[in-house]
Chains A and B, each alone.
Chain A
Amino acid sequence: MSAPAVERTRTARPAARQPVARRSTGVPAPRDAGGAIGRAYARRAVRERRQSGEENAAAAGRSQFVLLIMVLFGVGLVASLWLSTTAAADSYRLDTARQATRDLSERSESLRTEIATMQSAPALAQAAQQMGMVQVSDVARLVVAPDGTVAVVGTPKAAVAPYVPPPVLAPAAAPPVPGQPVDPAQAGAQGQPVDQGQQSEQPGDVAGADGQVAPAQPQVPAEPGPVTQSGGQQLAVTQQPAGAGQPSPTRQTPQQFAAAAAQAQQQAGQQAAQQQAGQRQAGQRQAGQQQSGTGQQTAGAPTWPATGPGH
C-alpha cells in the first residue's frame, strides 16, 4: 500500500538519465515520455537494470545451488534406497549366517559330547571288549641284556578275563542328552541288532584263531543268560547281559526274533563253513559245537521271555 507513495515522493529527482534508461530497457514509452511519468519510468528502468545485474549473477548462483541440492537429494535418495535394499538383503544373509552358526555350534557341541563319551575310559573298555579283547593282568617281559642275551621275566600265559565287569560300572546305555539319537554302539548295548552277521562271529573267530585270546567270559560265574543252558560255550558269550553288550542275533526283541530265527540258522551254517575254510587250525569240533549251539538256541526261540533285554 505504501509503494505508490514512495514512487510519488521520488518523482522530484532530476531526470538526467532518462533517455539512457528508456533506451536500454526497451519498455514502451508512455505518451508523455518526456514528462514526469517518463522520468519515473526511466528511473524505474534504471533501478531494475541495476537490480537485474545483481539478480542475474545471484540467480545463476542460486540455480547452481539448487541443482546441487537436487543432485545431492537425488543421489541421497538413490543411495538410501540402495542401502536399504542391501541392508534388507544382508539381513537375510545375516539371518541365514546366524542360523548356520547356531546349527554348527550346536553340532560342534553335540560332537564334542559324543567324542567325550566315546573317548571316556568306560566306553573305550567296552569297545575293546566288543572287539573280543581281554584285559591282561600279568605279562611276561623280555629283557635284553647289554651282551644281547634275552631273559624272560615272568611266566607267559594266556590272558583270561579275570572278572566280570561289575554291573555298577557297565557303561550305561543311556544317551548323554536324553532324546539324542541313539548311536550304534549304544544301540548294540540296548539289544538292537547291529550288523549282527559279522559281529556275532567274533567270539568264535577269536577263539578259533589262537587259543590265547579266548573269550573267557563263559568261564566266569556270571548271572546266566536266559538260554545259556541250551547253548555251547561259544554262544554263551553272546548271552552276557548288559555288561558284555555284544550284539548278537539272540539279542533281539521278540518281534524281530521270529524273522531273524531263520536268518540266524542260515548264518550259523555260513559261519561254520567260513570257519572250516578260513581257519584250518580251528578244530572241526569247535565249529560243529558252535553250529549245534546256534541250532539249539534257535529252537529255543519261542520261549524267549517278553521282558528280555531286547526291550
Chain B
Amino acid sequence: MRTATPPRSRPKSRSSPPVRRPRRPAGARPDVNRRLVAGRLIMVTLLALAGLKLVTVQTVQSGELRADGDKQRVTRLPLPAERGSILDRAGTPMAFSVQAKALSANPFLIGRDQGANAINRKTQIAIGIAQLTGVDANQLYAALNTDRHYVILVPLVEPAVARAVIERFPEIGQEDRESRQYPGGPLAANILGAASWNMDQHKLHGVVGLEASEESLLAGTDGFRVVDTAEGGNTVIPGSERAERAAVPGSSLQLTLDSDLQYSVQQQLAAYVNLHGAKDGSAVVLDAQTGEVRALATNATFDPRDLAAASANQLGNPAVTTPFEPGSVNKIITMAAALDSGLDNPMTVKDVPDSIKIADRTIHDAWTHPRQNFTLTGILARSSNVGTLMTAQQIGPDRFWTMLNKMGLGRRTGLGLAGESSGRVPPRDTWSGSTFGNLPIGQGLSMTVLQLAGMYQSVANDGLRVPPRILQATVDPDGTKHVEPRPDPVRVVTSQIAQQLRQMLVAVTQDGKGLQRGTGVDAAVPGYQVAGKTGTAQQVNPACGCYSADRYWITFAGMFPAQSPRYVIAIMLDAPTHGQNASGLFHQIASTLAQRDQIPVDPAPAPMAPLVVP
C-alpha cells in the first residue's frame, strides 16, 4: 500500500539525465518532425475523407440506404381478421370460420433434389398425405408428378394434420387458411350464400348471398405487424417489432331465422314441389306480430360446402329476387278496400253471374255456375272472379289503388337480402280500362312471396303491417349486440276490419257441403282455425305473349291460428304439372308449427259461414 519510493533508487535517477542526452543525435530532430508532420497530414486527410463520407452517408444517401436495408430486414406480416359468424335467432351457428392450413409443394424442387429417386419419393409423399388427410392418393400423385414450382396439394386441412404431414415430409409446405363451416349444409343456403378463399387477398371472400352482401361487416379489418426477419427466411428476430396493429375480427350477424323451422319448411317445400312436378317453389314463414322472417325457403338450393357443384340457378334466392303474378290471393286487397270503404260487410249478398265484362274483356269464374247469391265471404271463400270484380267496380279504382299501396306492393320490403325485387305494379296513370279487370284478381301485377306474406301479415297483426326483416342484430367481436332498427309499421286497415277479414279467410278453409265449401279445405288443421287464401295465376306464354292455358303460378297465403295469429305463411309453386293447390303444403307447415310451438288447441268447431245464400 505504501506509495513512497524506496530511498535507494534516488541516486540513480539523479545521474540519469546526463546519460540520456548524448544519445539523441543533433541531426535526428528535424527528420522526426517531418515525419510527424507528414503523418499528421495523412491522418487529417483520412479523417477528413472519412468525415466527408460519413456526412454523405448520413445525409445524402441516408434515405436510399435505409430503404435498402429495410428491404432486406423489415417484413410486414399480415394479421388476418377472423370472419364473423352467421347465427340463427337462437344463436345456433349457421356459418362460422375455423383455422385451417393448405398443403403445398414444389414438385420441381423435389424432382431435382431426389434425382432418380424422385418417383419413389413422390409416391411416398402421396400415399403418406393420403393416409393422414383422407384425400385421394392418385390425385395427390398426379399433382406432385409435374414440373411446376408450386402446387396446392390439399386446400383445407386441420392444423394438427398439417403439422403431422410436415413432420413426416419436410418438402411439403403449409399456408394459413380460414375454413368456412356451414354445419347445416344446404340449410338456408340461399339466404346465407357462401364464402370461399380468395388467393389474391389471402382471405375468405363472400361469393353469394348474405356472405357477399354483408361482406364488409363480416370480414373485419386485417391487422399487420412490422418486424425484422432474417434474410432469406421468415424467421422473426425477437424484439424487432416496429409497429403492430391488431386485427379487428368481423362482426357476427344474427338472423331472425329459426333453423329448425327453416329445415322443415325447406324439406316440406322440396318434397311438395317434387310431388307436384313443379318447376320451382318458394315459401316463407313470418312472425305475425313482428314481421320477422322465421323461414324462407326455395326449392332450388345448394350445399355451400361444395360450391363448385352448384349451378347458377341454385345459387340465387328466387323467393326474394323473382316476382310472380299472385292470382286470387290478391283478392284480399279488394275485400279490405270494400270493408274499409264501409260499402260492404262480410255478409253483404251479391248477385253474381258467371261472367262479367270489363272494358273490352269478358272475365269468367273458374267454374261455370248460374247466377247465385254470394255473400262477400262467399266470394272470397269460393274465389269468385266475377264477384270480386263486381266488388272492385263498386269501390272504384282509387280506393283499390290506395289499399294496394298500403299493402306494400310495388315496393321493396327492405328485408335485408341483396337483389330484392320490388315486383311490378302498373302505375295508376297508365291503367287502361281492362287493367282494373285484372288487378283485383291478381293478374297483371307481380310480387315476391315476401310481399305476399306481408299483405297477410297486416291482416294477421290487426291491420298493422310491419315490413318483413331477416337481420335481427349484429354482434360485435366483443359480444355487444346491436339490434337492427325495426321498420316503421304501416296502418293498413283498422283492427276491426282485420278481424272481419280473418273471419272471411277462415271460411276459405271451411269444409262445407257443395256450395258451402271453401277452396282451401286442405289447409285446415284439426283443432285450429286456419285463415288463408288460395291463388292460381296464369303464366305468360312467351311464344304468343298471351296468358298460357296450362301453366300456372299456384299460391297460398294465410295465417295460423286464425283467432290470434302467430305465423303468416306464404307459398308459391311455379307451374306444377298436377295438383293445382298449395294448401296441402300450408297444412304441413302449420301442423309442424302447432306441434313445435305447442299452440293451444281450440276445441270448439270452426264456425260455418254462409257462402252462397238462396
* Residue pair B135, A179 in contact (C-beta under 8 Å): yes
Query: Which residues from chain B contact A179 at a C-beta distance below 8 Å?
Result: 132-135, 154, 156-158, 161
With CB as the reference atom, state the residue of chain B lying closest to A116.
B183
Docked Cα-Cα span, A135 to B265, in Å, equals: 13
Docked complex: B258-278 residues within 8 A CB-CB of A: 259-260, 262-264, 266-268, 270-272, 274-275
Select from chain B the residue with minimum beta-carbon distance to A47: B4
For residues 271 through 308 of chain B, which have their beta carbon under 8 Å from a beta carbon of chain A?
A: 271-272, 274-275, 300-301, 303, 305-306
- Partner-binding segment picked from B96-104, B459-467, B502-510: B96-104
Q: Report B306 CB to chain A, min CB distance, Å.
A: 6
Contact indicator B160/A165 (Cβ below 8 Å): no
Q: Which chain B residues lie closer than 8 Å to A162 at the CB level?
A: 271, 588
Q: Which residue of A140, A151, A176 contacts B181 across the interface (Cβ within 8 Å)?
A: A176
CB distance B303 to A177 under 8 Å?
no
Contacts of B272 in A (CB 8 A): 163
- Give the interface segment out of B10-18, B355-363, B426-434: B10-18
Taking CB as reference atom, which chain A residue is nearest B184?
A120
| B595 / chain A contacts, CB cutoff of 8 Å | 136, 139
- Contact B270–A106 (Cβ < 8 Å): no
Given the known A-B contacts A4-B14, A110-B98, A119-B92, are A169 and B158 also in contact in the complex, defined by CB atoms under 8 Å? no
The yes or no answer to B603 lying at the interface (CB within 8 A) is yes
Of the listed stretches A13-21, A121-129, A268-276, A298-306, name the one at the interface; the rest are far from the partner chain: A121-129
| Chain B residues bordering chain A, tally (CB within 8 A) | 60
Within 8 A of A (CB), among B231-275: 259-260, 262-264, 266-268, 270-272, 274-275
Per the bound structure, the CA–CA distance linking A139 and B587 in Å amounts to 12
In Å, the complex CA distance between A137 and B274 comes to 18
**Max chain B Cβ within 10 angstroms of own Cβ: one of A137, A168, A175:** A168
Q: Which residue of B lies closest to A103 (CB)?
A: B160
Determine if B353 is an interface residue (Cβ-Cβ < 8 Å): no
Q: Assuming A1-B13, A4-B13, A172-B305, is B158 touching A180 (CB within 8 A)?
A: yes
Shortest beta-carbon distance, B270 to chain A, in Å?
Answer: 4
- Give the residues from 518 to 535 in chain B that come closer than 8 angstroms, CB to CB, to chain A: 525-527
User: Does chain B have a CB within 8 A of A59?
Assistant: yes
Which residues of the partner chain B approach A155 to less than 8 Å between Cβ atoms? 526
A47 CB → nearest B CB, Å = 8
Q: Is A117 an interface residue (CB 8 A)?
A: yes
Q: A4-B14, A125-B263, A166-B270 are in contact. Are A181 and B134 (CB under 8 A)?
A: yes
Contacts A153-B526, A168-B270, A172-B305: A106 and B154 contacting too (C-beta < 8 A)?
no
Q: Is the CB of B155 within 8 A of A55?
A: no
Note all chain A residues with C-beta closer than 8 A to B187: 120-122
Chain B residues, CB < 8 A from A180: 134, 158, 161
Chain A residues numbered 137-193 whose CB sits less than 8 Å from any CB in chain B? 137-141, 143, 145, 151, 153-155, 162-166, 168-169, 171-172, 174-182
Answer whether A106 and B159 are a contact pair too, CB < 8 Å, given A113-B181, A121-B263, A169-B186.
yes
Q: Which residues of A contact B179 (CB under 8 A)?
A: 176-177
**A166 to B274 Cα, complex, angstroms:** 8
Which of A139, A153, A155, A177 has the most C-beta atoms of chain B within 10 angstroms of its own C-beta? Answer: A177
Q: A48-B4, A143-B603 are in contact. Are A121 and B527 (CB under 8 A)?
A: no
**Given A139-B595, A174-B305, are A123 and B1 also a contact pair (CB < 8 Å)?**
no
Q: Tell me the minimal C-beta distance from B541 to chain A in angstroms.
A: 29
Q: How far is the CA of A52 from the CA of B1 in the complex (A)?
A: 9
Query: A168 vs B14: C-alpha distance in the bound complex, in angstroms?
Result: 118
Interface assignment of A3: CB less than 8 Å from any CB of chain B? yes
User: Any chain A CB within 8 A of the CB of B2?
Assistant: yes
Does B5 touch A at the CB level, under 8 Å?
Answer: yes
Q: How far is the CA of A253 from the CA of B170 in the complex (A)?
A: 35
Point out the residue from A55, A163, A164, A172 that lies within 8 Å of B185, measured CB to CB. A172
Chain A residues within an 8 Å CB radius of B158: 106, 110, 177, 179-180
Q: With contacts A153-B603, A166-B267 known, is A177 near B186, CB below 8 A? A: no
Please state if A178 and B601 are interface contacts (CB–CB under 8 Å).
no
Residues of B within 8 A of A195 (CB): none
How many angstroms between the C-alpha atoms of A98 and B216 in the bound complex? 33
Given contacts A121-B263, A125-B263, contact A168 B305 (CB under 8 A): no
Closest to B134 in A: A179
Interface presence of A90 (CB below 8 A): no
A window 63-98: CB within 8 A of B = none
State whether the Cβ of A210 lies closer than 8 Å to any Cβ in chain B.
no
**What's the least CB distance linking A271 to chain B, in Å?**
32
Report how far A136 CA is from B591 CA in the complex, Å. Answer: 9
Interface residues in B1-30 by Cβ distance below 8 A to A read 1-2, 4-5, 10, 13-14, 17
Taken together as a complex, chains A and B put the C-alpha atoms of A59 and B100 apart, in Å, by 71
Q: How far is the CA of A106 from the CA of B134 in the complex (A)?
A: 19
Closest to B165 in A: A179
Let me know if B603 and A116 touch, CB within 8 A.
no
> What are the residues of chain B within 8 A of A4 when measuring CB–CB?
10, 13-14
- Which residue of A has the minimal Cβ distance to B271? A163
Which residues of the partner chain B approach A182 to less than 8 Å between Cβ atoms?
134
- Evaluate contact between A106 and B1: CB separation under 8 angstroms: no
- The reply to whether B266 and A177 form a contact with Cβ atoms under 8 Å apart is no
A169 touches which one: B133, B154, B259, B266 (CB < 8 A)?
B266
Show the binding face of B for A, using Cβ within 8 Å.
1-2, 4-5, 10, 13-14, 17, 92-93, 96, 98-100, 132-135, 154-161, 179, 181, 183-187, 259-260, 262-264, 266-268, 270-272, 274-275, 300-301, 303, 305-306, 525-527, 588, 591-592, 595, 601, 603
Would you list 12 pairs from A and B whose C-beta atoms are within 8 A, ordered by A residue?
A: A1-B17, A121-B184, A136-B595, A138-B525, A141-B527, A153-B601, A163-B272, A176-B305, A177-B179, A178-B133, A179-B133, A180-B158
Give the top 10 A-B pairs by smallest Cβ distance, nearest first: A121-B263, A163-B271, A179-B133, A154-B526, A116-B183, A153-B527, A179-B157, A120-B183, A120-B184, A166-B270
